[in-house]
Amino acid sequence: MTGTAPAERRAELAKNLAVVRERIARACLHAGRAADEVTLVVVTKTFPDSDVRLLYELGVRDVGENRDQEAAPKAAACADLPGLTWHFIGQLQTNKAKSVAGYAHVVHSVDRLRLVTALDRAAQQAGRVLTCLVQVNLDPVAPEETGRGGAAPADVPRVAEAIAAAEALRLGGVMAVAPLGVDPAAAFARLADVANALRQDHPDATMVSAGMSGDLEAAIGAGATHVRIGTAVLGSRPTLRYRPNR
């Protein structure tokens, strides 16, 4: 961040990463799972590409972003880092599919048929294959009212089927954000049910993206394979959003 010397920032990120990795290891131990069953996706939204580079030096290979306007230039600025996987985790408008398909490897927020069509067309044009997760809305309130995206659990099979049938998309599994005011463990247990049902028809769709800084233990306890961690690694998000070439 502005005003922080790179060495200082590196030390801060290293310390935070160690804490988060330890939390993941403990949660796995507690759940009787192997630590390598869980992938840490560091959510770098609002932070500069210099932080992505420092994280890369510290061994991070999976980063997450939620806005295309910010992610596209950041991914371009980091294109020289081999083996870095970009996860798109935010609500995605159909007209942004073309851009996202140019740099993202995994899209966690696929929640409707029109988006499947748009992503498939864009991935084909880019000559790329995208792994897609069906975002599940676990809110007891209707998705349209919460505005946070996600398919209703009953609609998940239809969206999954469309992804599986698409030429340039691969069905990875499911993703969810624990709704506000609900016990995260209960929400993630519901997600686990949806994930298990999906695997009956799509045995390779094994990814379960769940858990953020505040609830990663509950998510790992319920079978998460990917946790999306922002604040606990990078600190509080700045109010000014990242801008390329600032």
Ligand X SMILES: *Cc1c(COP(=O)(O)O)cnc(C)c1O
Strands 207-209 and 85-88: unpaired
What residues between 115 and 174 interact with ligand X by CB under 6 A?
none
What is the Cα–Cα distance from 144 to 135, expressed in whole angstroms? 14
Residue 27 Cα distances to 31, 216, 236, 239, angstroms: 6, 8, 23, 31
Please report the sign of the dihedral spanned by the C-alpha atoms of residue 69, residue 83, residue 215, residue 185. positive
Per the DSSP assignment, residues forming a β-bridge with 229 are 42
What is the Cα–Cα distance from 223 to 235, expressed in whole angstroms? 26
Q: Is 228 in the site for ligand X (CB under 6 A)?
A: yes
Among positions 66, 99, 137, 225, the unique one binding ligand X when judged by CB under 6 A = 66
Shortest approach of ligand X to residue 177 CB, angstroms? 5
Per the DSSP assignment, residues forming a β-bridge with 85 are 62
Shortest approach of ligand X to residue 236 CB, angstroms? 9
Q: Is 229 in the site for ligand X (CB under 6 A)?
A: yes
Q: Is 213 in the site for ligand X (CB under 6 A)?
A: yes
By beta carbon distance, the residue nearest ligand X is 230
Looking at 7-15, 27-35, 119-127, 206-214, which segment touches ligand X (CB under 6 A)? 206-214
20 versus 162: smaller Cβ distance to ligand X: 20
Residue 196: name the closest of 244, 156, 141 by CA.
156
Q: Is 54 in the site for ligand X (CB under 6 A)?
A: no
Shortest approach of ligand X to residue 16 CB, angstroms? 11
Looking at 19-27, 53-61, 180-188, 211-219, which segment touches ligand X (CB under 6 A)? 211-219
Shortest approach of ligand X to residue 54 CB, angstroms? 17
What is the Cα–Cα distance from 53 to 62, expressed in whole angstroms? 12
89 versus 151: smaller Cβ distance to ligand X: 89
Residue 228: name the closest of 238, 213, 241 by CA.
213
Binding mask 75-94 for ligand X (x = CB under 6 A): --------------xx----
